[in-house]
Amino acid sequence: MAGTLFDKQKCGSARLVLGALLVGLGIACGGPAPEAYIHQLKSLQKAERLKAANQLIRFEADEVVPLLIEEADSGYIRVRFEVIQLLGRFKDERAVPTLIAALRDKSPRVAAAAAWALGEIGSPAALAPLLKYARDPTVEVRQYVLGALGPCHSYEAEPALSDSAFRVVRRALRAPKPKWRVAALQSLRAYGYRDAVQEVIRMSVDPSNEVRYVAVQALGQIGSAALRRPARNAIYEALLVALDADELQSIRSKAMHALAEMGDKRAEPHLQQLMREGTEEDQTAARLALYKLSPEVAEAMRQTELGAK
């Protein structure tokens, strides 16, 4: 009996030691430790790097962010890019100095990722460094810098810098590259589209499909706020133009949604017409918008359709 108990105690101790070793090696029942996935970021296979990144984001920030910061100056561009993106996904303030330094990276792809990540974190400490790259000649870098200026501004922390960033963003609404105009418009949202109604209306008929889509979306956001009648009317008319004249289904649908967000009853007949005569997608979008704007009218039309069938 005693010998049996002794053997059980030895076996239990052995299991404890083995468990400790497995944990140290990162292969216990919980799966690999963060270090294993960080090493996987060095893989030449993009799919493998993606798997590693998706696993790392599941860990607590305290477990991973310090390790990522250590890898941010890796000699491999692909590793730096993945690390910077992950730091943006974690949105951890501890990464801000590292991300600011990464704006100087020799790889435009990494620098652009750093600007994006800073915008995700939205730290006022990043505003001054970002402004230095607001005229970067690289399309991708300038795009993400412009997009980060709004989220990083703070009148409480840096009023003068916030005004400087606002002026840069306003000027970029007329930038030559569509991606820059889109990024500036998205950044302007953080400023509440201040003093920019006419600019956004102009962009709703921009030659670029992407610019028009984002502008129409912005008009819905602006129009849903309390506005003076002239501005509200101007937005309403611009949305009608998008609704009636734009060749892209996605933009017409976005215009319907924006009109519903505004809560302007004048849009009812236009939506009713699209429910009767529009494409299948138009009809679906119009029905959803009309249900939000005038549920009783939409329901009456639905009942009429059912009766006709």
Answer whether 0.95 is exceeded by the pTM: no
pLDDT, residue 29, reads 43
Nearest CA-CA partner of 126 in 102, 109, 90: 102
User: CB atoms < 10 A from the CB of 236, how many?
Assistant: 17
For residues 145 and 140, what is the distance between their CA atoms, to the nearest angstrom?
9
Q: Is the pLDDT of residue 8 over 60?
A: no
What's the whole-number mean pLDDT along residues 127-150?
A: 97
Cα torsion at 183, 175, 234, 186 (round to 10°)? 10
For residues 263 and 248, what is the distance between their CA atoms, to the nearest angstrom?
23
**Percentage with pLDDT > 90 across the chain:** 76
Query: Residue 99 is encoded by which pair of tokens?
Result: 């991300």
Taking phi over 0 as left and psi of -120 to 50 as alpha, with beta for the rest, 26 belongs to left
Q: Which residue has the higher pLDDT, 191 or 292?
A: 191
Q: Is the pLDDT of residue 145 over 60?
A: yes
Taking phi over 0 as left and psi of -120 to 50 as alpha, with beta for the rest, 195 belongs to left
What's the whole-number mean pLDDT along residues 172-199?
A: 96
Maximum separation of any 2 CA atoms in the chain, in Å: 95
**Does the CA dihedral 32-34-36-41 come out positive or negative?**
positive
Write the pLDDT tens digit of every residue in 111-121.
999 999 999 99
Query: Residue 24 is encoded by which pair of tokens?
Result: 């140290």
Nearest CA-CA partner of 47 in 80, 91, 82, 85: 82
pLDDT, residue 98, reads 98
Amino acid identity for residue 108 in this structure:
P
What's the whole-number mean pLDDT along residues 36-58?
A: 95
Mention every residue, 6+ apart, whose C-beta is less than 8 A from residue 271: 256, 259, 286, 289, 290, 293
For residues 283 and 281, what is the distance between their CA atoms, to the nearest angstrom?
5
pLDDT, residue 228, reads 87
What's the whole-number mean pLDDT along residues 16-33?
A: 48
pLDDT, residue 298, reads 63
pLDDT confidence tier of residue 162, bands split at 50, 70 and 90 = very high
pLDDT confidence tier of residue 308, bands split at 50, 70 and 90 = low
Q: Is the pLDDT of residue 23 over 60?
A: no
pLDDT confidence tier of residue 245, bands split at 50, 70 and 90 = confident
pLDDT confidence tier of residue 186, bands split at 50, 70 and 90 = very high
Mention every residue, 6+ apart, whose C-beta is less than 8 A from residue 150: 119, 165, 169, 186, 187, 188, 189, 190, 191
- Which of 15-24, 30-39, 135-144, 198-207 shows the lowest per-residue confidence on average (mean pLDDT)? 15-24
Q: Is the pLDDT of residue 92 over 80?
A: yes
Amino acid identity for residue 128 in this structure:
A
Q: Is the pLDDT of residue 32 over 90?
A: no
Q: N- to C-terminal Cα distance for the chain?
A: 85
What's the whole-number mean pLDDT along residues 254-281?
A: 91
Amino acid identity for residue 300 in this structure:
A
Q: Is the pLDDT of residue 1 over 60?
A: no
For residues 225 and 243, what is the distance between their CA atoms, to the nearest angstrom?
20
pLDDT confidence tier of residue 226, bands split at 50, 70 and 90 = confident
Q: Is the pLDDT of residue 43 over 70?
A: yes
Query: Residue 182 is encoded by which pair of tokens?
Result: 């889109």
Mention every residue, 6+ apart, whose C-beta is less than 8 A from residue 122: 151, 152
What's the whole-number mean pLDDT along residues 93-115?
A: 98
Mention every residue, 6+ apart, whose C-beta is less than 8 A from residue 294: 265, 268
Cα torsion at 233, 238, 239, 240 (round to 10°)? 90
Return the residue matching tokens 């300038």. 142
Amino acid identity for residue 122 in this structure:
G
DSSP line for 86-98: HHHHHT-GGGHHH
**Percentage with pLDDT > 70 across the chain:** 86
What's the whole-number mean pLDDT along residues 228-255?
A: 93
pLDDT, residue 306, reads 60
Residue 259 near residue 233 (C-beta atoms within 8 A): no
**Which domains does the chain possess?**
208-309 (1.25.10.10)
